[in-house]
A and B are shown apart, each in its own frame.
Chain A
Amino acid sequence: MLIRLEQRPEASNIMVYVSPLIAVVLTILTAMIMFGALGVDPAKAIETFFIEPVSTLDGVAELLVKATPLVLIGVGLSLGFQANVWNIGAEGQLVIGALAGGGLALAFYGQSSTLLVPAMLVCGVIGGMAWAAIPAWMKTRFNTNEILTSLMLTYVGLLVLSYLVHGPWKDPEGQNFPESRLFHDSALLPILIDETRLNVGWLLALFVVVLGWILMSRHIIGFQIKVIGMAPMAGAFAGFKENRLIWITLLISGGCAGLAGVIELSGAIGQIVPSISPGYGFTAIIVAFLGRLHPVGVLFAGLLMALTYLGGDSAQITMNLPNAVTGVFQGMLLFFLLASDVLIRYRVRFGPPRVKAEAAE
C-alpha cells in the first residue's frame, strides 16, 4: 500500500487545532515505548508524569505558579510573532522588569502601604517595556535585526542583575552572599489559597490572556498585526505603519515579560536572587508556537509545559528516573508538533495519486 502526502488546496482550519493534540498523543505513546524500554511500567510512568503532580491541591497550585510566567510571556510574544517581529529576548526583559519591581520593594522596605505591590507590578511592566524598546528603536531607526539585538540584551540584563545582587542590592546582613534581603510582607503578592504559593499573578496571567484575545480578534491593531504578518506589502498599501506595529508588539511583549519577572520575584521567590528565571523567556517561545500564537492556545500550552516540569520532579522522586526525562518530553513534544504541522497543509492519502483530479485542483 502506498502512503503519500498530498497538498491541500487550502490550509486546513481543523488541523490547526487538531495537530497539537496529535502531537501530545504521539508524545505520550512514544514516551510509553521509551519507559517500556527502560524497564519501567509505562502506564505507571505516564500516571506519575501527568496525573500525580496535580493530584493534590498543592500540586495544582504549583502548576499554576509554574505556568504563570510561561503564559504571560507566551501571550506577549505571540502578538509579535504574528507580525513577524521576533523578540527572542524576553528573558532579558523579564529580568529587567523583575529588577524594576524588586528595586522598588527594596527602596520602600518595611513600608506597609497597600500601594506597594501595584506599584511594583507597574514598574515591572515599564522595566520590561524599556528593555524591549531598545531593539524596537534600533530596528525602526537603523533597521537592525531584532532577533540579534533582543537576544544579546538578554545577556546584558543578566549582567545587570549579577551586578546588583553582588553589589548595591546585596543583603547587608547576608554574609556577602549574592542575594537581596527578603522582601517585606507588604511587597509580596497576595496568596489565593492558604498554605500554597498560588498568588494573584495567575489571575493577572488570565487577564492578559483575555486582553490578548480581545486585541487580536476585536481590535484594529490585531487586524493590522495579522495583515502585516501575512502580507507586508498589502499592509503597506492599506496604510498600516509597520514601524508603529514593531513598537507596539515589542512593547507589549516586553511589558508582559517584565510583569512575569516581577510576579516571579514578588510571588514565588520573595527576594532578588542571581537566577530569577530558569529560562522562562526562551521556553515561552516554544509555548507561543505550541499554542498556535493564539492567546487561549498559549494558556493551554503554558499549562502543559508547566506540567512537564512538575512531572519531571515526580518522575525523579517517585520513580527514581533521571531528570533528563523532562528534557526528552519537551523535545518530543516540540518535534511531534512541528511534524504534525505538515497535516495543516498536506493530507495523508493511501494508494497511487489521482493525477487527473490533482490537476483539476
Chain B
Amino acid sequence: MTKRYLTRVAAAAALAVSVAFGAQAADPMKVGFVYIGPIGDHGWTYQHDQGRLGLMKHFGDKVKTTYVENVPEGADAARVITKLASTGHKVIFTTSFGYMNPTLKVSKRFPNVTFEHATGYKRSKNLGTYLSVTYEGRYVSGYVAASVSKTAKIGYIASFPIPEVIRDINAVMLGMQKVNPKAELKIIWVNTWFDPGKERSAAEVMMDQGVDVIIQHTDSPAAMQAAEKRGKWAVGQASDMSHFGPNAHLLSVVNDWSNHYIATVQKVMDGNWKSEDYWGGMADNVIRIPGYNKKIPAPVVTEAKKIVAGIKSGTFHPFTGPIKDQTGKVRVPAGKTMTNGELAGMNWYVQGVEGSIPK
C-alpha cells in the first residue's frame, strides 16, 4: 500500500513539475563551456570553441551556449563552474585537466546538471569524462616527419609531463621508427600550453641543433611560423594550422569536438545521458588529419592514409607490441595491445626516446 501510494505521489509530483516547468520546456537548453585559454589561441581552446559553434549550428535555437575563457586552474575554476551551474546551464563542459576536482566538487552541489570534464579520470553520477585520442594522429605525424626529414632529427615541443604528453611522444617515436629506426627525437619542455614566445624560442633552439621537423604539443601557431621562416617543416596541433605556414605545414592533427558535443547534448535532451569515460579518435572523427602538404612524396602520403584507414577500422593500433622501454625491457609483448587503462597512466618512454621524464 505504502509503496503504491508513494508511487502515486511521485507521479503526481512529476506531473506538477512538468506542468509548472512546461513553459520552460520550449526555452533553449543552456550549455556552458569553461576554457583554459583564449578562444583565439588557434589550438586547444579554439577547437573546443569550434565544437561549441558546431553544436549551435546543429541545434539552432534549441540550445544557447555560453563560454568563459582564460579560466585559471587554481581557485577560480570552481567559482566559474558554480556560476554557470547556478545560472541555468544544464550541460557544462570543462575543457582542461586542472578543472577535474573543481568540477567534481561543483557537480555534487548541482545533481540536476550534467557535467563533462575533458582529459580527467574522476567521474560521478552526473559527471562524465571525455578525451581525444591524439596519439593516433601523433603516430602518423611521426611517420611522415621521419619520412621527410633530411637530418633525421625531429623536434618535439612538450607542454607538461602528464600521461597524455608522454603517450604522444611515444607515439611519435614509434611512428618515426617505422621509417627510420635511427631517427632522433629532441624534446624541449616549455611547461605551458600556450605561450607563443616560449614556443617560438623552443622551435628556434631545436632548428639551430639541426632539427628540420617540429612537432608541437602546445597550442599557438608560433612554432609553425618559425619553421615557415626558416624553410623547415612543422606539424600543426589541435587546429588546421596550414595557413600559418603554407610551405612548412606537413599536416595538422585536428581535434574536432563538435560530434561529441552534439551527441552529449542530444543524450541529455533525450534523458538517456550516462556518465562514462569517452575516448574519441579517428574512428569517430574526433581526431582528423584534414590534408597533407603537396611536397610530401606521394608514397609517404599513401602509407599515411593507409595507417589512418587501419586505425579507423580497428585493424591497426599504434601501441601494439613488441614495445620496449628505454632500458630495453619489453613492456608490451608481441601481438598485445595496450589497454586504455594502461595508456591512461603511461609514465615511461619507449626505446629510442632520449632523456628522462622530468620530475
Q: Is A322 an interface residue, CB under 8 A from the partner?
A: yes
Whether A268 pairs with B98 at a CB distance below 8 angstroms is no
Pick the contact of B67 from A62, A175, A316 — CB < 8 Å?
Answer: A316
Interface residues of A in 290-347 (CB under 8 A from B): 309-310, 313-314, 316-318, 320, 322-323
**Which residues of chain B are near A179, meaning CB under 8 Å?**
98, 101
Q: Is A184 an interface residue, CB under 8 A from the partner?
A: no
Stretch of B76-84, B233-241, B327-335 on the interface side: B76-84
Pick the contact of A313 from B79, B98, B345 — CB < 8 Å?
Answer: B79
Nearest B-chain residue to A263, judged by Cβ: B75
Residue from B74, B86, B162, B163 having most chain A Cβ neighbours under 10 A: B74
Distance of A67 from chain B, by nearest CB (Å)? 12
Interface residues of A in 41-71 (CB under 8 A from B): 56, 58, 62, 65-66
Interface residues of B in 318-359 (CB under 8 A from A): 344-347, 358-359
**Which residues of chain A are near B166, meaning CB under 8 Å?**
176
Given contacts A176-B162, A177-B162, A178-B162, contact A317 B83 (CB under 8 A): yes
| Cα–Cα distance between A309 and B69 once the two chains are bound (Å) | 12
Whether B163 pairs with A177 at a CB distance below 8 angstroms is yes
**Which residues of chain A are near B310, meaning CB under 8 Å?**
none
Whether B73 pairs with A274 at a CB distance below 8 angstroms is yes
Whether A166 pairs with B74 at a CB distance below 8 angstroms is no
Q: Is A197 an interface residue, CB under 8 A from the partner?
A: yes
Whether A167 pairs with B72 at a CB distance below 8 angstroms is no
Q: Is A162 an interface residue, CB under 8 A from the partner?
A: yes
Interface residues of B in 58-113 (CB under 8 A from A): 66-70, 72-76, 78-80, 82-84, 86-87, 97-98, 100-101, 109
**Which residues of chain B are near A62, meaning CB under 8 Å?**
79, 82
**Which residues of chain A are near B100, meaning CB under 8 Å?**
177
Whether B72 pairs with A166 at a CB distance below 8 angstroms is no
Given contacts A58-B86, A177-B97, contact A163 B359 (CB under 8 A): yes
Q: Is A264 an interface residue, CB under 8 A from the partner?
A: yes
Whether B98 pairs with A273 at a CB distance below 8 angstroms is yes
Q: Is B160 an interface residue, CB under 8 A from the partner?
A: yes
Q: Is A271 an interface residue, CB under 8 A from the partner?
A: yes
Stretch of A110-118, A275-283, A350-358 on the interface side: A275-283
Whether B69 pairs with A317 at a CB distance below 8 angstroms is no
Whether B163 pairs with A175 at a CB distance below 8 angstroms is yes
Distance of B230 from chain A, by nearest CB (Å)? 29
| Cα–Cα distance between A320 and B162 once the two chains are bound (Å) | 33
Count residues of A near B (Cβ-Cβ below 8 Å): 39
| Cα–Cα distance between A179 and B345 once the two chains are bound (Å) | 14
Whether A316 pairs with B121 at a CB distance below 8 angstroms is no
Whether B38 pairs with A323 at a CB distance below 8 angstroms is yes
Q: Is A16 an interface residue, CB under 8 A from the partner?
A: no
Q: Is B151 an interface residue, CB under 8 A from the partner?
A: no
| Cα–Cα distance between A316 and B67 once the two chains are bound (Å) | 7
| Cα–Cα distance between A59 and B121 once the two chains are bound (Å) | 29
Q: Is A229 an interface residue, CB under 8 A from the partner?
A: no
Q: Is A151 an interface residue, CB under 8 A from the partner?
A: no
Residue from A195, A278, A320 having most chain B Cβ neighbours under 10 A: A278
Pick the contact of B75 from A56, A269, A316 — CB < 8 Å?
Answer: A269
Pick the contact of B74 from A264, A313, A316 — CB < 8 Å?
Answer: A264
**Which residues of chain B are near A268, meaning CB under 8 Å?**
74-75, 78
Q: Is B313 an interface residue, CB under 8 A from the partner?
A: no
Given contacts A167-B359, A270-B101, A278-B74, contact A316 B68 (CB under 8 A): yes
Nearest B-chain residue to A59, judged by Cβ: B83
Whether B160 pairs with A178 at a CB distance below 8 angstroms is yes
**Which residues of chain B are near A168, meaning CB under 8 Å?**
359
Pick the contact of A176 from B74, B86, B347 — CB < 8 Å?
Answer: B347
**Which residues of chain A are near B69, meaning CB under 8 Å?**
316, 322-323
| Cα–Cα distance between A275 and B160 once the two chains are bound (Å) | 12
Whether B84 pairs with A317 at a CB distance below 8 angstroms is yes
Q: Is B191 an interface residue, CB under 8 A from the partner?
A: yes
| Cα–Cα distance between A317 and B75 once the two chains are bound (Å) | 18
Q: Is A208 an interface residue, CB under 8 A from the partner?
A: no
Whether A162 pairs with B191 at a CB distance below 8 angstroms is yes
Q: Is A221 an interface residue, CB under 8 A from the partner?
A: no
Whether B359 pairs with A274 at a CB distance below 8 angstroms is no
| Cα–Cα distance between A149 and B83 once the two chains are bound (Å) | 39
Whether B75 pairs with A264 at a CB distance below 8 angstroms is yes
**Which residues of chain B are near A177, meaning CB under 8 Å?**
97, 100, 121, 162-163
Q: Is B161 an interface residue, CB under 8 A from the partner?
A: yes
| Cα–Cα distance between A277 and B73 once the two chains are bound (Å) | 9
Nearest A-chain residue to B166, judged by Cβ: A176
Residue from B75, B86, B166, B359 having most chain A Cβ neighbours under 10 A: B75
Given contacts A182-B101, A197-B78, contact A176 B163 (CB under 8 A): yes
Distance of B90 from chain A, by nearest CB (Å)? 14
| Cα–Cα distance between A175 and B79 once the two chains are bound (Å) | 26
**Which residues of chain B are near A58, meaning CB under 8 Å?**
82, 86
Other contacts beyond A166-B160, A166-B359: 12, CB < 8 A: A58-B82, A162-B191, A176-B346, A177-B100, A177-B162, A268-B74, A310-B79, A313-B80, A313-B83, A317-B68, A322-B69, A323-B70
25 contacts between A and B (CB under 8 A): A58-B86, A66-B75, A163-B359, A166-B161, A176-B162, A176-B166, A179-B98, A182-B101, A195-B109, A268-B75, A269-B75, A271-B101, A273-B73, A273-B98, A275-B72, A275-B73, A276-B74, A277-B74, A313-B68, A314-B83, A316-B69, A317-B32, A317-B68, A317-B87, A323-B70
Closest 4 CB pairs of A and B: A268-B75, A167-B359, A278-B72, A175-B345
Q: Which residues of A contact B (CB under 8 A)?
A: 56, 58, 62, 65-66, 162-163, 166-168, 175-179, 182, 195, 197, 264, 268-271, 273-278, 309-310, 313-314, 316-318, 320, 322-323
Q: Which residues of B contact A (CB under 8 A)?
A: 32, 38, 66-70, 72-76, 78-80, 82-84, 86-87, 97-98, 100-101, 109, 121, 160-163, 166, 191, 344-347, 358-359
